[in-house]
């Protein structure tokens, strides 16, 4: 009788260990799905300070030469961003206004199309490809308008909204 009790306890202990292990694996898989569902528009909700630099290499309207810009843009976490900036186009200082819609892909890349105002005048549209960095606290952007070789860095102003 002593042998059967020990065998029963051993089998029960093994079954308990297998059950606990299976539950732990299932919970880990569920947590992984919750933690990494992919990026969405909500990941860039809030205000961002930004700077852009590069060069205007060809333009019918703007001076060709070095370009620099600083500004602030606020995104609603759904699809819209709006902001203002000051830009230097080869030394010509102009105010800029930006209002546009954006999309975010699950891998953290995205696209924004701004309606651009320069010096208070409509200046067409500005398409920008971007990638979310630093868990949504940063964004790297590349305007894709021909004639412009510019990159932009955005940093979240979270806690200041």
Each residue of 26-50: pLDDT tens digit? 454 554 444 456 999 999 999 999 9
Confidence of residue 18 (pLDDT cuts 50, 70, 90): very low
Specify whether 140 is located in the same domain as 63.
yes
Which position has the higher pLDDT, 128 or 7? 128
What residues make up the domain containing 31? 1-37
Pick 20 or 27 by higher pLDDT: 27
Same domain assignment for residues 115 and 64: yes
- Say whether both 50 and 29 belong to one domain: no
Residue 65 and residue 127 share a domain:
yes
Q: Are residues 123 and 60 in the same domain?
A: yes
- Please list, in sequence order, all residues whose beta carbon lies within 8 angstroms of the beta carbon of residue 81, skipping any fewer than 6 positions away: 73, 74, 75, 98, 99, 100, 101, 102, 112, 114
SS3 label, residue 22: helix
Question: What is the number of helices (H) and of strands (E) in the chain?
Answer: 1, 8
pLDDT, position 135? 83
Task: Identify the pLDDT of residue 108.
Answer: 96
Round to whole Å and give the CA distance between 4 and 13.
Answer: 14
Does residue 62 lie in a domain region? yes
Note whether residue 161 is domain-resident: no
Q: Which two tokens stand for residue 61?
A: 């309207």
The overall average pLDDT reported for the chain is: 84
Q: How many domains does the chain have?
A: 2
How far is the C-alpha of 126 from the C-alpha of 72, rounded, in Å?
Answer: 16
- Could you please report the per-residue DSSP string of 99-141? EEEEEE-TTSEEEEEEEEEETTEEEEEEEEEEEEEGGGTEEEE
Backbone torsion region of residue 159, taken as left when φ is above 0, otherwise alpha when ψ lies between -120 and 50, otherwise beta: left
Q: How many residues does the chain have?
A: 161
**Claim to verify: residue 32 and residue 56 sit in the same structural domain:** no
Rg, Å, the chain Cα set = 26
With bands split at pLDDT 50, 70 and 90, how would you rate the model's confidence at 11? Answer: very low
Q: pLDDT, tens digit, for every residue of 69-89? A: 999 999 999 999 999 999 999
């Amino acid at each position: 009788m002593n042998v059967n009790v020990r065998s029963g306890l051993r089998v029960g202990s093994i079954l308990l260990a297998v059950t606990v292990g299976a539950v732990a694996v299932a919970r880990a898989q569920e947590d992984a799905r919750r933690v990494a569902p992919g990026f969405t528009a909500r990941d860039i909700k809030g205000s961002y300070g930004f700077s852009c630099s590069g060069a205007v290499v060809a333009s019918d309207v703007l001076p060709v030469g070095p370009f620099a810009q600083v500004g602030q843009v606020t995104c609603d976490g759904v699809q819209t961003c709006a902001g203002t900036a000051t830009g230097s186009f080869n030394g010509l200082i102009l105010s800029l206004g930006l209002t546009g819609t954006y999309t975010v892909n699950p891998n953290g890349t995205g696209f924004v199309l701004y309606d651009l105002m320069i010096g208070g005048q409509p200046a067409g549209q500005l398409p920008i490809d971007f990638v979310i960095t630093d868990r949504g606290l940063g964004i790297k952007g590349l305007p894709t308008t021909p004639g412009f070789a510019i990159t932009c860095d955005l940093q979240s102003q979270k806690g200041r909204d």
